[in-house]
Structure 1
Amino acid sequence: MSDSAPTVSSPASIAIARQAILDAQRMVFGYELFDRSVQADQHTASSDAQLLFNLLSMADNELLMDRKTLFINCTHDSLAGGHLELVAPDHIVLEIPPLSVSEVDQIKTRFPTLQTIHDRGFRLAFDYSVLTRSYEDWLPLASFIKFDLSVLKPQAVASFIKLARAKSSAVLIAEKVETAQQHEMLQELGITLFQGYWFAKPVLVEGQTIRPAQATILQLINLVRKQASTNEIEEVLKRDPTLSFNLLRFINSAGFGLRTEVTSFKHAVMLLGLKKLFKWAALLLTTSQAGDTPPAVGTTAVVRGRLMELLAGETLPADECDNAFVVGVFSLLDTLLGIPMPAALATLTLPESVTNALLYRTGPLAPYLLLTEACESGDDDAFAQTTTALGLSSNQVNWAHLQALAWAETLLE
């Protein structure tokens, strides 16, 4: 591995707006975040969830957050994504939308995922729909209930607030508050948190992400896979300012949940742990392509990794699930690095099951890679054969594929 100075790619711009949520004394309780890279009427499940990853990548995320509670819009598909594993839940509230009219039959199906996220410590916010009979299973999970004054008439707001206070211990938030009269009425009804133009318009905060050189990331991944000592990993971080900058920025973000700032590379590595350090570095690699590599290649690699991890989780032990993620992410390593696969893998120390799947398409992980490729290409015959061979149903595979696509879009810019 070369020790020459790394080539740093151009910084990527991020534009995130935040709007304050105030308490009765007009002190800032938290902020709701909005992705300003998309139009308000065009934002999707993935663009809402992508805020979380961009937030952890911003150089000035302390300026953005001020250590306050952050309200982040989510979709049900993105809740199953692995990006939440990298974030401490202490300062995060996930805003969960109601299901569309055509999806209400999925209310019970979605409940276990919401329960899992809640049990991990994330607070959940719902709109007033959670007070209707259809969503009664969801209501105990609500830490916050939001009332949109641009949608609800005053009489309806009063009825829903009365219902909320009778059936839930959730904190109530009024949003789209635009007049002093509305504010006074809401206070009398028992609302304690307020959001809207009458208090503060969204403020745009711009930042940048910086991706380090691929060679250094590969070296870091290699050390992690060999379970190298903290001192050896620290030496790599010391030699590449952009890599160490990314790591310290990530681990010191409010999303990681530490009470004191980490300035030591050794301390950062110890706190993160080898497993999370590997996943973080692997995702960095896919966003640090060579200049002539299409960005879609990195996206495809991440989708493959997450899809293989989810599929392997149905039938294989936990260690092999981690290896399945490695196979998927590294299955396009030759394209990402512009060198043949054997040469690319020669720079890494990987488990035998991973190497066999990537080089020879043999071993326990090979069928999962074939199935992943069949999902991409639409090869119905290969899809049917490998699904049957692995004892999976087409519904299981299709659902995992949707989750993998949503997760990839949240991570890649």
Structure 2
Amino acid sequence: MSSTPESDGQEISPQDTLVVDENLAIIARQAIIDSSRAVYGYELFDRSTASDSFTAASDAALLFNALSYAGTEALVGKKTVFINCTHDSLSGGHLELIHPEKVVLEVPPLPNSATAEEIEGRVPTLEALRKRGFRLAFDQQALRRAYTSWLPLAAFIKLDMQAFKPELAATLVKFATTYSKATLVAEKVETAEQFELMRDLGVKLFQGYWFAKPSLVKATTIRPSQATIIQLINLVRKQASTAEIEDLLKKDLTLSFNLLRFINSSGFGLSCEITSFRHAVMILGLKKLFRWAALLMTTSRAGGAPPAVGQTAVVRGRLMELLAGELLTPEESDNAFVVGVFSLLDTMLGMPMERALESVALPEPVMDALLHGKGVFAPFLELTKACESGDEAAFARAANALQLSNRQVNWAHLQALTWAENLAAE
């Protein structure tokens, strides 16, 4: 994705809309800033449908899309993401997929018809989320007497500037700071006077249209076919080995690409980058892998990536793996497979390779081959492309550079084609 670079202390557009064209996932993003107008975090809203109704499923889909496709925009560095939740979604398994420190859960009040017992009955769920490390945000309804038991659980309280008169602001702020340790956020700030009023009362964070005009950010994504996702879910359900799951990931560029991008998003909270399929599966574990696959299934369309491109990518990956196996270590052969499969990522995404690779972590030798045509894997990629082109001179030069005979290369190419055809038939 491309957008105007942002940095702390720099004025930015507080509401951007992330449009995922192929799959109609639309996420509105509004910045939350501090008193010096540096970005503290972003609140995300699902704008995929015209409906304003929210369900546990829509909450899960929003969070999944944000983690998978907005990682380089909305989930940057230390920026915090605020997600609106329904009470049903607060018990959802999708929350197990994210690092609690990265996300604030905005919890709505219950309907006006809710009884004191019903309000009190939500406390155990909220406390459990707090113990897991999640921070909770409530609106000013939490300052009402009925929500007294919720107040100690608040990390943030959002004060809607359109919901009370300016002369009541001081009373609200004093009450909130006296009876909670929450950081206050003034939201729907639309004038300089509102901003200055709340800032002078000690409010730390602000959100609203006054700070800048909206701008648009577009992202292009690729999704695996539902049939492939079902295969993955079935493997996980029968507790298949890591090797079996890795084998499926090797078969499908879009599946492996999505997994590596997801697990390396800042929302997942890992301190190091994961660059191999096997490592990703081991880190994620079967339970979380099932959650991820299930969410991917719900947000994918019935079709998939263009089959001809995907088929060519798989052939390239397998051919490079076989050729590298003649000369390199098993680990390097695995990376050669990644080079081959991802060598068509720019075509799959319809964007330059450099931009396509921004959202997925890969080992440096893999990046060198894909971006610069250099390093240990570059000659193998050149030979693989020569096999496709039918250019005999290029084929001879590439094979000679690796000191591989025509027979070795042709045999490996035949094996790769057969392997890819067998995959397509499964």
Same fold (TM over 0.5): yes
Structure 2 vs 1, CA of residues 229 and 22 (structure 1 numbering), >3 Å: closer, same or farther? same
2:125 equivalent among 102, 105, 113: 113
Q: Deviations over 1:225-251 (max 9, x none)?
A: 454443342232122101101211221
Report the Cα distance in structure 2 between the residues aligned to 1:203 and 1:112, rounded to whole angstroms. 40
Is 2:8 aligned against 1:12? no
2:156 equivalent among 136, 144, 152: 144
* 1:72 Cα deviation from its structure 2 partner: 0.8
Structure 2 vs 1, CA of residues 236 and 194 (structure 1 numbering), >3 Å: closer, same or farther? same
CA RMSD of aligned residues (A): 2.4
What residue ranges of structure 1 are gaps of 5+ in the alignment?
Answer: 1-9, 292-413
Is 2:295 aligned against 1:263? no
Give the total of aligned pairs.
280
Structure 2 vs 1, CA of residues 285 and 97 (structure 1 numbering), >3 Å: closer, same or farther? closer
In the alignment, which residue of structure 2 is the partner of 1:274? 286
Does structure 2 retain, via aligned residues, the 8 Å contact 1:15–1:205?
A: no
2:254 equivalent among 242, 258, 262: 242
Q: Pick which of 99-108 and 24-33 moved more.
A: 99-108
Q: Deviations over 1:157-187 (max 9, x none)?
A: 2111001111111101101112222222111
Structure 2 vs 1, CA of residues 108 and 65 (structure 1 numbering), >3 Å: closer, same or farther? same
**DSSP-derived class of the 1:211 partner:** coil
One-letter code of the match for 1:19? Q
**DSSP-derived class of the 1:21 partner:** strand
1:182 equivalent among 194, 198, 209: 194
Does structure 2 retain, via aligned residues, the 8 Å contact 1:124–1:142?
A: yes
4+ runs of 1 displaced by more than 6 Å? none
Report the Cα distance in structure 1 between the residues aligned to 2:98 and 2:282, rounded to whole angstroms. 16
Report the Cα distance in structure 2 between the residues aligned to 1:137 and 1:44, rounded to whole angstroms. 25
Structure 2 vs 1, CA of residues 149 and 272 (structure 1 numbering), >3 Å: closer, same or farther? same
Is 2:159 aligned against 1:135? no
User: 1:10-409 maps to which residues of 2 (within 5 A)?
Assistant: 11-39=22-50, 42-46=52-56, 47-48=58-59, 50-58=61-69, 60-67=70-77, 68-105=79-116, 106-285=118-297
**DSSP-derived class of the 2:114 partner:** helix
TM-score in terms of structure 1 length: 0.62
What residue ranges of structure 2 are gaps of 5+ in the alignment?
Answer: 1-20, 304-426
**DSSP-derived class of the 1:261 partner:** coil
Report the Cα distance in structure 1 between the residues aligned to 2:106 and 2:298, rounded to whole angstroms. 28
* 1:289 Cα deviation from its structure 2 partner: 7.0
Does structure 2 retain, via aligned residues, the 8 Å contact 1:22–1:28?
A: yes
**DSSP-derived class of the 2:181 partner:** coil
Q: Deviations over 1:210-231 (max 9, x none)?
A: 3323454344344434544433
Q: Which has the larger radius of gyration?
A: 2
* 1:188 Cα deviation from its structure 2 partner: 1.4
TM-score in terms of structure 2 length: 0.61
Q: Pick which of 100-109 and 166-175 moved more.
A: 100-109
**DSSP-derived class of the 1:29 partner:** strand
Report the Cα distance in structure 2 between the residues aligned to 1:131 and 1:149, rounded to whole angstroms. 15
Query: Identity across aligned pairs (percent)?
Result: 62
